[in-house]
Amino acid sequence: MMKKKQITIALAGNPNSGKSTIFNNLTGARQHVGNYPGVTVEKKEGKTSFQDYEINVVDLPGTYSLSPYSEDEFVARDFIVQEHPDVIVSIIDSSNLERNLYLVTQLMELDTPLILAMNMSDMAEKKGQDVDYSELSKLLAMLIVPTIGNKNIGTKELLAAVIKTHENKIKASKIHVKYGPEVQEEMCKLEQILKKDKELVNRYPWRWLVIKMLENDSSVLDIIRNCSVGQEATAQNEKSRSHLQAHFGDDPEVIIADRRYGFISGACTQALKETTIEERHDLSDSIDRIVLNRLFGIPIFALVMYAIFKFTFTFSEPVVGYFETFFGWFGETVASIVPAGLFQSFLVDGIIGGVGGVLGFLPLVLFMFFAIAFFEDSGYMARAAFVMDRLMSKFGLHGKSFLPMMISTNGCAIPGIMATRTLESKKDRLITMMVVPFMICGAKLPIFALFIGAFFPASYSTNIMFLMYILSIVIAFCSAWLLKKFVFQGEVSHFVMELPPYRVPTIKGLLLKMGERGWLYVKKAGTIIVLISIIIWAGFTFPQNSGVTKEGMTDSEIATIQLEQSYAGKAGSLIEPLVKPIGMDGRSGIALLAGVAAKEVVVSTFGTIYSLGEVDVEETETLREKLQKDPSWSPLKAMSFLIFCLIYMPCFVAMAVFYEESGSKLKWTLFLMFWTTVMAWSASFIVYQGGMILGLGI
């Protein structure tokens, strides 16, 4: 068999033009998609075969131009310009043709072969847009494929066009935007200087360099300054720019942008058969007039979040009950088969008690993910950021910082931290990264469900959960304000954000998302949580019978002594003085400490502890019931515990990602650990001691 030829293609396009959907269609991957800008912040690779080619497909973060402003845009620009993919597939939202073609005009300045995927072509047709594809293809000198990403239409044709373009080497450089004689003349002068540096023009397309210099793109100017003709080129560029400035009475970057739009509008006039495009934004506008209203905006957002929690708690409650009962029954069954002893305890208390506690909440997490997926796909996410902008500007951040915080609530703090890449200001980014972990992620959710379920009446559960959510936002905002005021002073950067059109989410899309995130939860329970549960079990089991057991002691007393005298029990009593003022004992201290490995571990640790402390293995009480019956807890203590869990240090993986994304700043990572934990302790202290004074400590 002949070996397949290998090529690399890059998917480039504006934010929210459906690149990841096309990527998934091409490669069969399940990359996360959503209806808000900035879902993809990192390049993602996948493979596909077509004819006798093996194609390496690279999905890039969305970008409006090849002049990057934020980290995610740098990722896209660097790949396109430096990695020399064999073909660039430029994906555009056809229903917004002119603006989307702007990036295409810049891609045309590179030497890489280019094809155009006109995505969402059904939406454009619905708007009454009738494109003469062959005419547009001629005008832009590239193959064009209409696609409908969410229906997987046009995928094969796209691959065929990629291969054809690659084999025919249809160079995108055939047609360029005409910038006019004045600009062209300055371009020539710069070109002659740059071409003296052979290495430079081998690495980067000269034409692109020259235009970006005239556009005053700071990252390109840096590249130029460091090349062998740096001084000469920089001096010439300054001269050229001031010449153009004087000639046109405006900045060269504005003139260049204007020429590009002129080129696009010329092409569109020729290639669009019907120019009766009605801007039908009526429904979307009416919705926005309500949800973005200055008075109702925030209350509506609060209502939406409340509805999500209400939905989650109401519908998951019975199913969680079944799951808990199942794991109770399962433990009991295993106990009746396996003879009593260490091995039985290992299985029943360590693994089933620990992991079962976490998996019991799977339905709750799934319901939450389903509701959140609706929120993500509808287009409301960007609106929530808009609404919060006003409030957040009082705390020194702008609305875009709210997106990473929401992403954290939608599943996990890690993608939340990654999503801060869309922020342009480095300081804002660092601040946002530091407050993102305060949000209630999918891993913290079971802790809240467990304690709220155990200590508060069912009719209040949504309200308490919602209160916790509000508290997480308040804490995040106040921290941001403190950080901005005392650590990262600086001005608020510009807030520019596209609001995507509303879409009705498809059931299939929602279920896919729910399944994807739910599977991650199960996978984590089956790996890291099993491992930590075993460690915790061993910690509380050994050394065996080291305590003084006297004749006539009940089984339950013996179990208690065993827990106290074990390694973990002793470690617990060591840290007890630290957590006593916030109403916790050594066991809770151990659970919290173990929770740094992964927040679900807080639940699994209690699962193991209560399973070990249980004398009659035949009894099938759920973990919630066991907690409820434990006289050492009270609703006030539970509240204090939850507040601590809400605020204290992020899990290891989140901290590792924080370290990476903060530019490997150990200082900030340690600061984050310390700061969050001190805050958590103080908040719990106030709540617990305050509650005691008010006499709520019953």
Partner 1 sequence: MLKLIKAPTKTDLTFVSIEGGMGAKRHLADMGLVPGEKLKVLQNSGYGPVTVLIKGAKVALGHGLATKIVVEEE
Q: Which residues bind partner 1 (CB under 8 A)?
A: 64-65, 67, 69, 95-99, 102, 215-217, 250-251, 253-254, 257-258, 261, 277, 279, 281, 284-285, 288-289, 292-294, 382, 386, 389-390, 393, 398-399, 492, 494-501
Q: Which is nearer to partner 1, 61 or 399 (CB)?
A: 399
* Angle CA 348–516–8, to nearest 5: 130
Q: Which amino acid is at 38?
A: G
Q: Which amino acid is located at 169 in the chain?
A: K
Least distance CB 399 / partner 1 (angstroms): 7
Torsion of CA 175, 177, 178, 183, to 10 degrees: -130
- Are 11 and 57 spatial neighbours (Cβ–Cβ below 8 Å)? yes
* CA–CA distance, 402 with 308 (Å, rounded to integer): 18
> Please, what is the minimum distance in Å from the beta carbon of residue 261 to partner 1?
6
Q: Report the residue number, 225 or 289, with the smaller CB distance to partner 1.
A: 289
d(Cα 548, Cα 309) in Å, to the nearest integer?
48
Instruction: Report the nearest approach of partner 1 to the CB of residue 193 (Å).
Output: 23
Do the beta carbons of residue 434 and residue 607 sit within 8 Å?
A: no
**For residues 62 and 356, which CB has a smaller minimum distance to partner 1 in the complex?**
62
Question: Helix, strand or coil for residue 115?
Answer: strand
Burial of residue 448 (CB within 10 Å: 0-12, 13-18, 19+) is buried
**Cα–Cα separations (whole angstroms), residue 385 to 14, 54, 585:** 19, 41, 40
Name which of 216 and 560 has its Cβ closer to partner 1.
216
Contact 571, 588 (CB under 8 A): no
Token pair recorded at residue 95 = 């229903």
Beta-sheet pairing, 272-274 with 144-146? unpaired
Cβ proximity to partner 1, 390 vs 485, nearer residue: 390
Give, to the nearest 10 degrees, the angle between helix 586-594 and helix 567-579. 100
- The token duo for 191 is 């070109």
Strands 114-119 and 53-59, how do they pair? unpaired
Q: How many angstroms separate the CA atoms of 188 and 693, rounded?
A: 79
First to last CA, the chain: 77
- Minimum Å gap between C-beta 77 and partner 1 is 12
E strand intervals along 340-432:
none
Write down the least CB distance from residue 251 to partner 1, Å.
6
In the complex, minimum distance from the CB of residue 384 to partner 1, in angstroms, rounded to a whole number:
12
CB of 112 vs partner 1, minimal distance in Å: 20
Distances (CA, A) of 323 to 316, 326, 359, 363, 520: 10, 5, 8, 8, 18
Dig out the tokens for 182 from the structure: 């004045």
Q: Cβ 196 to partner 1, closest distance in Å?
A: 28
Question: Which pair of structure tokens corresponds to residue 139?
Answer: 């005008």
Instruction: Give the nearer residue to partner 1 in terms of CB position, either 64 or 466.
Output: 64
- Cβ 140 to partner 1 shortest distance, Å: 18
Cβ-based nearer residue to partner 1, 86 or 428: 428
Nearer to partner 1, 298 or 338 (CB): 298
Nearer to partner 1, 238 or 285 (CB): 285
Residue 409: C-alpha distances to residues 436, 521, 652 (Å): 9, 14, 18
State the nearest-atom distance from the C-beta of 493 to partner 1, in Å.
Answer: 9
**How many other CB atoms are found less than 10 A from the CB of residue 375?**
23
Least Å distance, CB 455 to partner 1, is 39
Q: What is the DSSP letter of 491?
A: P
> What residues does 117 pair with on adjacent strands?
91, 145
* Residue 149 identity (one-letter amino acid): G
Least distance between partner 1 and beta carbon 100 (Å): 9
Looking at the Cβ atoms of 215 and 600, the one nearer to partner 1 is 215
Q: Which is nearer to partner 1, 493 or 588 (CB)?
A: 493
**391 or 522: CB nearest partner 1:** 391
**Six-digit token pair at 230?**
């740096």
Query: Cβ 386 to partner 1, closest distance in Å?
Result: 5
- Pick from 607, 609, 626: which is nearest to 559 by CA? 609
- Minimal distance in Å, beta carbon 172 to partner 1? 20
Three-state DSSP class for residue 54: strand
* Identity of the residue, 391 or 478, whose beta carbon is nearer to partner 1 in the bound complex: 391
Of 575, 577, 552, 573, which is closest to residue 564 (Cα–Cα)?
573
Nearer to partner 1, 470 or 492 (CB): 492
Nearer to partner 1, 45 or 285 (CB): 285
CB of 435 to partner 1, least distance (A): 19
**Does residue 500 have a cis peptide bond before it, meaning omega lies within 30 degrees of 0?**
no
